[in-house]
Structure 1
Amino acid sequence: MGYRVIVTATRLAEPAIRRLEGFGASLEFLDDALTEEVLAATAARSRLDAILMRNNPPIGRRVFAAAPDLRVIAKHGVGYDSLDVAAATAAGVPVLLATGANAYSVAEHTIALILALGRDLVRLDGRMKAGHWDKWHYSGREIRGRRLGLVGFGAIARQVAVLARALGLEVQAYSRRTETIDPALARPVATLDELYATSDIVSLHCPLGPDTRAMIDAASLARMKSGALLINTARGGLIDEAAVTAALHAGTLAGAALETFAAEPPDPANPLFSAPNLIVTPHIGAHTGSAEDAMGLMAAENIIQVLSGGTPDPANLVNPAALGRK
């Protein structure tokens, strides 16, 4: 029996393609800039068994109505805020994540941003190329001994803590599930306010939801230490970009390094990009060969697990209530 699998992107790691095709799946690749209308129309062409969700395409009730035989959605990564989980659950479609597959890659990128921002590498590079020699005037700051505050303590934050401690950073973390914080890696803090007030560097590693959207706003920025740095390798919607722009211009926030944005790709005219002491990267923290192979293979295995009648790994399952509805 053959299976029809839609991939919501133009590419997938070769090991994942081979694994799925070896299982008997036929893969259809769609354009990265994908609308729900296009996805629903594509789904409706013939029986659809699975969606391998790359990037963040909108997947809602229209897609589930167009694909009544859909049995699983497997995310290539862990972010799923563009997916209507309630609609998936109502349709009996389990949503599975590639939990931990990209953790080291994104953690490494987080540390790279901390180092680049903390040592002014991008600004100094630009000044030197413009003819300035700042050797006698510049004084940097070591990150050793500074306090890193992690918002969230999932697989990525855990790896950030390991790397940060090796560099001599003091690490603390806030999570709504305090029991997930390993005290050997990070000191648990009771509230976000405490983390903001006592961290030299604040790094975001939590999912985007109604209670975390724009959590970094003018009020939370005002509670941060003077001279603090802000890092976001999680979801762009966690940040009020206008508030961060204002704080950077005012100097109350010493610097920010952002990997994700509220709208992707962002408008080049976004006022955020005029802010000083800002480093931006195009949501590529997980784009290493090793991470893409791992995410692709885990997504493939999640699809195969469901289509072969197995029980999904609870650590990867977003909506357990979907099981048994079909």
Structure 2
Amino acid sequence: MKTNKEMAIDKPYHVLVTHSQLARPAIQKLEDIGAQLTMMDGEITEARLLDALARQAPQAILMRGNPPINATVLSHAPGLRVIAKHGAGVDSVDLEAATRQGVLVMVAGDANAPAVAEHTIAMILALGRDLPALDRRTHEGHWDRDIYKGREIAGRTLGLVGFGRIGRRVAATARCLGMSVVALVRHAATVDPDLARTVGSLDELLGQSDIVSLHVPLSDQTRGMMDKRALSLMRQGSLLINTSRGALVDEAALAEALHSGHLAGAAVDTLAHEPPQADSPLLQAPNLLITPHVAAMTTAAILRMGLGAADNIAAVLTGRQADPANIANPAVLERLK
């Protein structure tokens, strides 16, 4: 009698990976179910995706980065059963089109949450204690010990826009640092009162927070949410942190708020267009800390994300129960019944 592994290998699954690299244990997990992997390198455009789909007809896409998996791309993948994100953000996928086609779109659980939360806290500490400015001044030959007066992180109010897997970890660490935390969430009952108290609107959160950190997915509702008006509602001298999606923020308005001094600083790990153009207004703004979309890129998180994405694919292709908490378009389950 064949083992489950031998039975799985009888099926020639094809998995398209939108990157040139994937952790070896994740590759092994997919090969164990008989999957053949096609890796893509370089910039992943719609045209390249269409060509790859025509060549391989995959049952699964393991999505690294944010390739444009739109309705056109999906229409050329009739055998596709699952798109598994190597991480959490699926804003580059047309979820409505995927749902109509019966394709599950899945995320890798909380695989990247510890890394992104750590990066967020690092940005808060760096900006909150003026480390970038002090470092720059010292390298320029200044020694500001007698004139510099900073502020401690303890006692400041952190406003979290979103309170999911990452936001909760940020809140827990912030509380350990002596900060108070307010959170804007869809369902107030999901917030542990020992971690944060909830507010009823973004305006309310902005008016109460010394530091605002964004932890919401990009959608039609959240795109550009931190526009000129919202930034003006932030406290004079406050800080903005964004480790979520660049398009949540009006970058020209943020640059203006930094130049005017209304905001004391900002730290961003993501931009609306990556990498930025040399003439990006943000790159010219003062008191800006910017990192190249690497908050989740730790060795441990990359392994967890790869294994999580591979496990989601293996579950769907072999008929194993997929974790409903990882499904980004749960409405598809009704279509698959």
Map 1:61-80; keep pairs closer than 5 Å.
Answer: 61-80=71-90
Counterpart contact for 1:32–1:55, Cα < 8 Å: no
Q: Secondary structure at the match of 1:113?
A: helix
CA distance in 2, matches of 1:299, 1:4: 15
Q: Deviations over 1:176-211 (max 9, x none)?
A: 222222212111111111110000000000111111
What is the CA–CA distance in structure 1 between the aligned matches of 2:222 and 2:131, rounded to whole Å?
31
Q: Which residue of 2 aligns with 1:183?
A: 193
Letter in 2 for 1:204: L
Alignment-mate amino acid for residue 228 of structure 1: S
Maintained 8 Å contact 1:306/1:312 = yes
CA distance in 2, matches of 1:324, 1:31: 35
Between the two proteins, the alignment pairs up a number of residues equal to 326
Structure 1 length as normaliser, TM-score?
Answer: 0.97
- What do the CA deviations read for 1:228-258 (whole angstroms, capped 9, x no partner)? 1000000001000011000000111111001
Q: Counterpart of 2:184 in structure 1: which amino acid?
A: Y
Structure 1, residues 56-94: CA drift from partner, whole Å, max 9, x if none? Answer: 000012222222111100011111111111111111101
Letter paired with 1:226: Q
Q: 1:200 corresponds to which residue?
A: 210
Amino acid at match of 2:83: I
**Please, which moves more after superposition, 238-247 or 31-40?**
31-40
Q: TM-score, normalised by structure 2?
A: 0.94
Residue type of the partner of 2:176? A
Partners in 2 of 1:15 and 1:167 — Cα distance?
36
For residue 305 of structure 1, what is the aligned residue in structure 2? 315
**Partner of 2:115 in structure 1?**
105
Partner residue, 1:209: 219
Aligned to 2:37, what secondary structure does the other structure show? strand
- Report the AA paired with residue 232 of structure 2: A
**Gaps spanning 5+ residues in structure 1: where?**
none
Distance 2:35 2:104 in 1: 18
Show the 5 A alignment for 1:53-92.
53-92=63-102
The counterpart of 1:293, out of the listed 293, 296, 303, is: 303
Counterpart residue type for residue 292 of structure 1:
I
Q: CA RMSD in A?
A: 1.2
For 2:276 and 2:49, the matched residues in 1 are separated by 23
Percent of paired sites with the same residue: 57
Alpha-carbon distance, 1:306 to partner: 0.3
Q: Which runs of 4+ in 1 moved over 4 A?
A: none
Identify unmatched segments of 5+ residues in structure 2. 1-10
Q: Give yes or no for contact 1:152–1:206 (8 Å, CA) kept in 2.
A: yes
For the residues of structure 1 that align with 2:280 and 2:198, how far apart are their CA atoms?
A: 36
2:155 corresponds to which of 145, 151, 173 = 145
